[in-house]
C-alpha cells in the first residue's frame, strides 16, 4: 500500500487551502450492524410476525427468539446467563440494582463514558465518583486504586470506542477491594481481552444494541453474569420485580420480591438481535481489519499518535482515536481531513475532534455538573446518606489528565463496509494533512 500511495496526485496543497480533495464521495455511514442487515434478519422477524407472537413470555405461538439469542450468546462468549432487555441504559440500572447499590454508596466510573452510565448511578440513589482515563481511553487502574474510599461500592468499567483498556488490572483491584464490577460493553460487543470475551471479567456486564453499536436491533440491550443469584435478581428487575413461572409472574417467592424496571426485550427485537448476533464476528472483523490497516500505514508520522489498545486482536475496530500535541493542532487536523473528503454524509459523525463528542465527557453533562435531580427533594444529592459527597465537583478540571486527552484527541469512525479504496483514501488523506499540519511543528 505504501508504494501504491506515494506520489499520489492529491499530494500538495490542502483542500482546506483550495487544493484538490483526496475524495469527493462521503464515507459510508458509521452504523456498523446496519450494513450487514439483510434476508437473515428479515426471515427471523417474519417468523415472529407470521406467528402473531411478539411477546417473549407467552402468546399464541411462541417463537423463542429472545431465548435463542440469549442461549447462542452464552455459547459463543462463555457466559453462564444472559438476559435480553430494552436498552443498554436500562441494563446499567438493572445491573446496579442487582448489586444492591443505592444511597450511601459511591460508584467509580471513568470520565469518558456515555451519559447513560452516570445516569444509572444517580437514578439508583448512589453517588458517581469520577476516575481518570489513561491512554487506553478507559479507566486508569492506578487512579481507580487512589480513588477507592469508605463509601465505594461498585465500579463501572466502560470499554469505550470498541476496545477494553487494562480490564485485567481493573478486575483484580475491584476484587481485592470487595467492589462489584460492572463492565459496560455497549461499545465493544464481540470484543476480547487476551482471548477472554469482554463481559466476563466482572460480576455483571451490559450491552447495547442501539443503532450505533457493533450489532443493532434499533434498540435493545443485554446483561450477562456467571452468578446464579445475580441472574435471578436481574430476571426479576428487568421485568416487574418478580420471576416468572410458565410465562406468568410469580409473586410467591419471598426472596425475590423487588421493584421492576419494565425493560423486557420483545420477541421482534430478539429476532433482529439474533440475526445480527450471528454476523457479529464478521462485522467486527471487517472494522478491525480496516482500522488496523489504517493505523499501521500511518505508523511513524511525527506528531501523530494513537490510542493505546492493550490487545489489538480483541479490538472490535469501530473507531480510530488519534492524538496530537495540542488542541489547536488537533482541530486543524480534523478540519483539514474533512476538507479532504474524510467525512460522512449529512448527519454523520464520522470525523470529529473529541470536543464535538458531547455527552461522552463528564463535564459536558449539565445534569451532572449542576447536580440535577428528577424529583423536588434533590435526590440523591440531598440524601443524608450521601452527605459524604457534598463537596464532589464534576465540572471540567475534576480529572486533569482526562481533560488533557479530551483536548488533543480526535475520532474517526470506521464503517463496517469500507472498501480497500476507502481505506487507501483515508491513509492518503492522513498522510497529506499530516505532512502539512504536523510538519509545521
Ligand atoms: C458506553 C455506553 N453505555 C450505555 C449506552 C446506552 O445504551 P442505549 O442507547 O441502548 O440505552 C451506550 C449507547 O448508547 C453507550 O455507548
Q: How confident is the model at residue 105 (pLDDT cuts 50, 70, 90)?
A: very high
Q: 244-254: string of b/e by CB count within 10 Å (b at 16+)?
A: eeeeeeeeeee
pLDDT at 420 over 80: yes
CA atoms within 13 A on the CB side of 42: 5
Mean pLDDT over residues 339-361, rounded? Answer: 94
CA of 303 relative to ligand 1 center, distance in Å: 32
Q: Is the CB of 158 under 6 A from ligand 1?
A: yes
Structural class in CATH, domain 39-279+359-393: alpha beta
Shortest-distance Cα residue to atom 8 of ligand 1:
88
Domain 2-30+280-357+403-437 annotated CATH 2.30.30.220: no
Mean pLDDT over residues 167-183, rounded? Answer: 98
Mean pLDDT over residues 185-206, rounded? Answer: 98
Distance CA 219, CA 237 (A): 19
Q: How confident is the model at residue 440 (pLDDT cuts 50, 70, 90)?
A: low
Q: Is the CB of 186 under 6 A from ligand 1?
A: yes
* 440 catalytic residue (yes or no): no
pLDDT at 4 over 60: no
Q: How confident is the model at residue 313 (pLDDT cuts 50, 70, 90)?
A: very high
- Rg of the chain over Cα atoms, rounded to whole angstroms, equals 23
How is the chain split into domains, by residue range? 2-30+280-357+403-437, 39-279+359-393
Q: How confident is the model at residue 348 (pLDDT cuts 50, 70, 90)?
A: confident
- Give the pLDDT score at 1: 37
Q: How confident is the model at residue 354 (pLDDT cuts 50, 70, 90)?
A: very high
Q: How confident is the model at residue 7 (pLDDT cuts 50, 70, 90)?
A: very low
Catalytic residue among 147, 194, 213, 302: 213
pLDDT digits (tens, 9 = 90+) for 51-76: 999 999 999 999 999 999 999 999 99
**Three-state DSSP class for residue 270:** helix
Sign of dihedral through CA atoms 297, 311, 356, 220?
positive
Lowest mean pLDDT among 9-13, 322-326, 339-343, 354-358: 9-13
Q: Is the CB of 116 under 6 A from ligand 1?
A: yes
Distance CA 73, CA 83 (A): 10
Tell me whether residue 393 is exposed, middle or buried, using C-beta atoms within 10 angstroms of its C-beta: 0 to 12, 13 to 18, 19 or more. Answer: exposed
Distance CA 237, CA 257 (A): 9
Question: Before 380, cis peptide (omega within 30)?
Answer: yes
Mean pLDDT over residues 89-107, rounded? Answer: 98
CA of 88 relative to ligand 1 center, distance in Å: 5
pLDDT at 286 over 50: yes
Question: Which of ligand 1's atoms lies nearest the C-alpha of 209?
Answer: 10
Q: How confident is the model at residue 153 (pLDDT cuts 50, 70, 90)?
A: very high
Mean pLDDT over residues 68-96, rounded? Answer: 98
pLDDT digits (tens, 9 = 90+) for 239-265: 999 999 999 999 999 999 999 999 999
CA atoms within 13 A on the CB side of 141: 16
- Which of 128, 182, 208, when mutated, tests ligand 1's pocket best, judged by the most ligand atoms within 8 Å of its CB? 208
- Give the pLDDT score at 11: 59
Q: How confident is the model at residue 17 (pLDDT cuts 50, 70, 90)?
A: very high
Q: Is the CB of 161 under 6 A from ligand 1?
A: no
Distance CA 235, CA 347 (A): 37
Q: What percent of the chain has pLDDT over 70?
A: 97
Q: Is the CB of 184 under 6 A from ligand 1?
A: yes
What is the pLDDT of the chain when averaged over all its residues? 96
Mean pLDDT over residues 204-221, rounded? Answer: 98
Q: Is the CB of 93 under 6 A from ligand 1?
A: no
Mean pLDDT over residues 212-233, rounded? Answer: 98
Q: How confident is the model at residue 12 (pLDDT cuts 50, 70, 90)?
A: confident
More confident residue, 127 or 439: 127
Mean pLDDT over residues 184-211, rounded? Answer: 98
Question: Which of ligand 1's atoms lies nearest the C-alpha of 221?
Answer: 10
Helices (H), 78-195: 88-98, 115-123, 141-147, 167-176
Amino acid at each position: 500500500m505504501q508504494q501504491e500511495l506515494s506520489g499520489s496526485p492529491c499530494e500538495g496543497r490542502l483542500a482546506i487551502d483550495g487544493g484538490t480533495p483526496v475524495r469527493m464521495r462521503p464515507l459510508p455511514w458509521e452504523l456498523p450492524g446496519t450494513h450487514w442487515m439483510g434476508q437473515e434478519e428479515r426471515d427471523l422477524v417474519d417468523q415472529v410476525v407470521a406467528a402473531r407472537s411478539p411477546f417473549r413470555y407467552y402468546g399464541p405461538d411462541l417463537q423463542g427468539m429472545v431465548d435463542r439469542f440469549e442461549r447462542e450468546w452464552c455459547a459463543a462468549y462463555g457466559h453462564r446467563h444472559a438476559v435480553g432487555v430494552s436498552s443498554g441504559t436500562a441494563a446499567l440500572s438493572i445491573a446496579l440494582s442487582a448489586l444492591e447499590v443505592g444511597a450511601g454508596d459511591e460508584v467509580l466510573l471513568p470520565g469518558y463514558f456515555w451519559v447513560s452510565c452516570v445516569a444509572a448511578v444517580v437514578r439508583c440513589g448512589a453517588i458517581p465518583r469520577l476516575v481518570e482515563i489513561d491512554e487506553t481511553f478507559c479507566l486508569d487502574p492506578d487512579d481507580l486504586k487512589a480513588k477507592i474510599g469508605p463509601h465505594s461500592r461498585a465500579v463501572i468499567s466502560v470499554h469505550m470506542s470498541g476496545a477494553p483498556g487494562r480490564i485485567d488490572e481493573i478486575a483484580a483491584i475491584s476484587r481485592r477491594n470487595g467492589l462489584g464490577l460492572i463492565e459496560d460493553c455497549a461499545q465493544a460487543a464481540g470484543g476480547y481481552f487476551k482471548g477472554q470475551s469482554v463481559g466476563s471479567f466482572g460480576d455483571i456486564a451490559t450491552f447495547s444494541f442501539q443503532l450505533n453499536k457493533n450489532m443493532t436491533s434499533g434498540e435493545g440491550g443485554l446483561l450477562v453474569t456467571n452468578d446464579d443469584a445475580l441472574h435471578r435478581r436481574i430476571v426479576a428487575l428487568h421485568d416487574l420485580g418478580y420471576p416468572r413461572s410458565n410465562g406468568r409472574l410469580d409473586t410467591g417467592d419471598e426472596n425475590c420480591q423487588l421493584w421492576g424496571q419494565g425493560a423486557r426485550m420483545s420477541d421482534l427485537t430478539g429476532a433482529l438481535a439474533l440475526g445480527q448476533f450471528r454476523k457479529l464476528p464478521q462485522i467486527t472483523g471487517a472494522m478491525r481489519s480496516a482500522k488496523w490497516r489504517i493505523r499501521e500505514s500511518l505508523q511513524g508520522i511525527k506528531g501523530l499518535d494513537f490510542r493505546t489498545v492493550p490487545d489489538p486482536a480483541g479490538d472490535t475496530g469501530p473507531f480510530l482515536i488519534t492524538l496530537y500535541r495540542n488542541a489547536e493542532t488537533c482541530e486543524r487536523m480534523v478540519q483539514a481531513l474533512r476538507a479532504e473528503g474524510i467525512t460522512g454524509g449529512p448527519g454523520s459523525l464520522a470525523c470529529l475532534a473529541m470536543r464535538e463528542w458531547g455527552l461522552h465527557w463528564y463535564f459536558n453533562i449539565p445534569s451532572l455538573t449542576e447536580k440535577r435531580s428528577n424529583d423536588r427533594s434533590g435526590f440523591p444529592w440531598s440524601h443524608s446518606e450521601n452527605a459524604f459527597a457534598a463537596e464532589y465537583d464534576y465540572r471540567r478540571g475534576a480529572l486533569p489528565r482526562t481533560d488533557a486527552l479530551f483536548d488533543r484527541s480526535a475520532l474517526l469512525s470506521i464503517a463496517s463496509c469500507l472498501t480497500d479504496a476507502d481505506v487507501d483514501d483515508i491513509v492518503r488523506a492522513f498522510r497529506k494533512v499530516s505532512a502539512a499540519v504536523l510538519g509545521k511543528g
